[in-house]
Structures are given as structure tokens and as C-alpha cells.
Structure 1
Amino acid sequence: MAGFPEGAPCWADAMFTDLEGAKAFYGDVLGWTFGESASEYGNYTQAYSGGKAVAAIVPPMPGQQAQSAWCLYLASPDAAATAQRIGANGGELVMGPMQVGDFGTMVIARDPGGVVFGVWQAGAHQGFEKQGEPGAYSWAEVVTREPAKADAFFPAVFPYGVRKMDTEQVDYRMFRVGDLPVLGRMAAEGDFLPPGVPSYVSVYFAVDDTDAAIERLRARGGTVHFGPMDSPFGRFAAVGDQQGAAFGIIDLGRTEGEQPPTVEV
């Protein structure tokens, strides 16, 4: 499998206190199946869609208390060098660089506005085995109360070009690797984020019918935070699972309207 370009999303995982509950939820909502838990790596458990690896779930380490949340990993050819740039540009290293067997090297970090993300230098584990199809990762965006900090930080750490949506409705930018948009940046203005909810990376998984997925999600105890809403990119909704982890779902085949123009910044 070809590697991911530097700065491109390459993997996503989440920590859950109730691992079996997470399996039941995502198995029903996204159609995932799960491999055997790797006990030597803290019961890290890969999720599959159509036999292709698309994400992973893991229980917290003994004694650790943490809110369930999805973490997006950005590809790096040299995790140690990326970690240095993170620190030099006002970010915080939460974990790593840490070698994970022969699978690769990981870093967990925060940008200067508090957005948590991961870095992955691939070894045996390259990352997503499929994208942009139902059951798989499709898009992600940094949702932040401090967009200026994100706008300075991410292009300094990764080789991003930046384009801004030419609209007054939202403050939205797209980080690009060459001509490929890889990550969005949404300014969380006003009451976009509820009080106490930190800035974060919203990870979107594709579904074949957003409304049907929402029905399954609600039946499993999940929550709809926003939407469903039609857009030029697909019919999407911002949701949460029954353990409080936020994510997005999108039907990429159901689009409405024309995509807004973008300008280079």
C-alpha cells in the first residue's frame, strides 16, 4: 500500500470505558466488525468495514479517567521532527514520540488553542485501508474557538497550503497538500460549541443514508448535536455516541447546491 502524504489524515481511534458497548454501537450504526484485541497493546482493537481496516477502539489504561473522544492522526515521515515543530510553534506534546512495536511511531499533541490530534509515522501499519466509502473515514475539520492560532500552527508544522471559503456565512479554511484538500478548519463562533466543550477535531465517517444512520444511532443511545443538513459536500450531521464521543456522519452521494468558491490565503 502506498504511504500517505505528510499532513494527510491517515488513522483514527477512540478510547472507551465500555469497549463491548462501543463495538455494539459502531457495529450497528456504521456496520463495523472488529478484530481480536491486542492484549500486548492495551487491548487495542481494530475496526473493519468490508474487511478493510478503518479505525480502532481501545479501553483506557488502568487508573486513567478520560472522556471518550475520537483522535485523528496526521501522517509524518519523521515523528520526532514533527514533534520538534509542534513544540517550536507553541503546541504541547501530550505523549511521544513513542514507538509502537513494528507498527509505527505515534505522537499525541495539542495545538496552541487546545485541539488534540495525533501524528503517525507508519511502519507495518500504514493507516486507513479505505476512505470515502460508507463505513469509512471521509473528512475531518479542526473546530476551534481560536482559529488564528490554528491557522498559524498547522501550516508551520505540516506542509500545508491554505484556501479560505469565499463566503461571509462561515469562517472556514481548508488545509491542502498540493492540490488535495486534507483537513478543514471551522471557527467556533458565538454559541457554536456549548460552554465547557473544548475545541476539537471532528472526524466524519461516510454512511449510505444519513437519516437511516441517525435512526440507528438514536436507538443505540446516541445523540444528534446538529443536523441532518444538506450541503454541496453531502447530507451530514454532527452526532455523539452513547459514551459521549463526538463525530460526524455524511452521505457523500446526496449533495445539494454548488460548492462555494475558495481563495488562497
Structure 2
Amino acid sequence: MVTTEYPAGSPNWVDLGSPDTGAAAAFYGAVFGWEFRSAGPEAGGYGFFQQGGKTVAAVGPLNEPGAASAWTVYFSTPDADALAKAVEQGGGAVRMAPMDVMDAGRMALFTDPTGGRFAIWQPGRTKGLDAIGEPNTFCWAELHTADPAAAISFYQALYGWGAADSGLPGIEYSVLSVADAGPQDMGFGGVAGPHEGLADGWLLHFAVPDADAAVAATSAQGGSVVMPASDLPTVGRIAVLADPAGAQFAVIQPVPPQSA
């Protein structure tokens, strides 16, 4: 499961690339109740989404030529430079070589061999997000790809991830876990094949107390519904949405934990 311990290979940061960060801040503020805080003039328009004073995500302008608005997941690493070499050796592409982000940490941007875009974060002063897995925060990273086996093999070579069948009837889905996950670990994400309407790549899920309310707020704020809310047994009620700039994300109203 996702936690703020952030062992190597776990997701430790998420951010949105947007053509209009002000509009994005207004949209996600209405949907999730987030507040925007600028990272300062030296950050080039980058800033943080906060909830209760805790950073839960971030947003910045689109800096790559031809880039479309999208959410990006970052995975923790103790050595960004070594991981960049491993990405190239594994058939992936380095879109932005490792670079220092002041004293906060070191980052890089990659594309896996199946086309999935992701990033890495080597912690410095900033270990990762302040809150994760709580209501209205990031809780799950899901890769949609035409070649799940190749994608899993690539990431396992980088991080030693575990990949286990979900056990959900009629669904081909692998649950991902960090290398040192214990037997009770429920994973941090998954890998699935392509799905009509969903963009290939990493789809970020945010936990919400009411999935239908999040869908309604998205529509009211000019976003769109990619997949309407539906119940997934033992998991929760899930919907896939897109913000006004087209960045896709998912919301999940988790099934309440069973009492002992």
C-alpha cells in the first residue's frame, strides 16, 4: 500500500503539467478542495497543491515541446544517475537527464519501452508528498499499455517490483509492489492492457469520500467523464475523469475496511 515511508521504487511525488496553471488550480480546488501555493519566482511557475497545510500534489507549466497536459508519477530512487543508465539499458528513453531541484532533490523524466511516461525523484530536503493514501490525495498508480508483460519486465529490472495477479474475476490485471513488500502489502499500483477511451500510460488515482460527487464537480467545472462511476467488488467505486485541459485522472471511493 502507498505510504509516506517511500521505499525505493514506490511512488513519492505526482504533478500535473498544464497549459494554464491558474485554471488548473481553480479546477482541482473545486473538485478536491486543494489550495495552490506557488513555489516562488525561481520555480518557473511551478507550485504545490495543499490540503490542510500538507502538500498532496504539484502543478507546473508544460515545458516539453509538443507535450499534452497530463499527470506524472515519480518513483523514489537513491541514485537518479544510476537509474537513468538502467532506463537506457532496458530500452527506455531519457527525456530529461537527472538534474538538481535546488536542495529539494534530484529528478529525471523517462519513457518506458511501451510508451509510458514517468519520472523519478531522489530525495534531498524533500522526501516526497506530505500526505498520500488519505481522502482527496493520490493513492494508486496504474499503467495501461498494449504490452503489459514487456512493461512489467522493464520496471522489474529497474526496481525489482513484485507483480501478482489481482485475482479479480474476468480482469487481467497485475498488482505491483515494492521489492521488500511484506505479505500483507496490498501494492501501490497495477498494470493492465489498453482500455477504450483511456490514454495509454500511467493513470493516477485519487481517493475520495464520494466518487459520484467528484464526477459531478468535474462536470460542473468544465471537465469531462471518460468512464462513469462504477463499482469494482472488494475495491471501491471508480470513475475516470479529465480536467478541462484534457489531463486524465481517476477517483476511487474505497470499500470501507472490514471490521475484525
Same fold (TM over 0.5): yes
The aligned residue for residue 214 of structure 2 is 213
2:108 pairs with 1:107: yes
Paired residues of 2:4 and 2:132 also in contact (CA < 8 A): no
Give matches, 1:124-163, under 5 Å.
124-163=125-164
Paired residues of 2:142 and 2:204 also in contact (CA < 8 A): yes
Structure 1 residues 198, 30: closer, same or farther in 2, change over 3 A? closer
Alignment equivalent of 2:189, drawn from 183, 187, 199: 183
> CA separation in 2, counterparts of 1:160 and 1:206?
23
Paired residues of 2:4 and 2:129 also in contact (CA < 8 A): no
User: Deviation of residue 86 (structure 1)?
Assistant: 0.9
User: Deviation of residue 44 (structure 1)?
Assistant: 0.8
User: Deviation of residue 255 (structure 1)?
Assistant: 8.0
Question: Identity percentage over the alignment?
Answer: 35
Structure 1 residues 169, 209: closer, same or farther in 2, change over 3 A? same
The aligned residue for residue 29 of structure 2 is 27
User: Deviation of residue 17 (structure 1)?
Assistant: 1.1
Q: List gaps (5 residues or longer) in structure 1.
A: 257-265
The aligned residue for residue 193 of structure 1 is 196
Number of aligned residue pairs: give it.
250
2:61 pairs with 1:59: yes
Letter in 2 for 1:68: S
Paired residues of 1:143 and 1:200 also in contact (CA < 8 A): yes
Paired residues of 1:170 and 1:187 also in contact (CA < 8 A): no
Letter in 2 for 1:126: K
Letter in 2 for 1:34: F
Q: Secondary structure at the match of 2:6?
A: coil
> CA separation in 2, counterparts of 1:9 and 1:249?
17
User: Deviation of residue 198 (structure 1)?
Assistant: 5.0
Q: Secondary structure at the match of 2:214?
A: helix
* 1:171-200, Cα deviation, whole Å (9 max, x unpaired): 211121223312210111xxx234xx7521
Provide the TM-score with structure 2 as the length reference.
0.90
2:111 pairs with 1:116: no
Paired residues of 2:4 and 2:12 also in contact (CA < 8 A): no
> CA separation in 2, counterparts of 1:97 and 1:215?
40
Structure 1 residues 84, 139: closer, same or farther in 2, change over 3 A? same
2:246 pairs with 1:244: yes
The aligned residue for residue 4 of structure 1 is 6
> CA separation in 2, counterparts of 1:167 and 1:209?
23
Q: Secondary structure at the match of 1:230?
A: strand
User: Deviation of residue 253 (structure 1)?
Assistant: 4.3
Alignment equivalent of 1:43, drawn from 37, 42, 45: 45
User: Deviation of residue 50 (structure 1)?
Assistant: 1.6
Q: Secondary structure at the match of 1:132?
A: coil
Of stretches 134-143 and 32-41 in structure 1, the one that deviates more from structure 2 is: 32-41
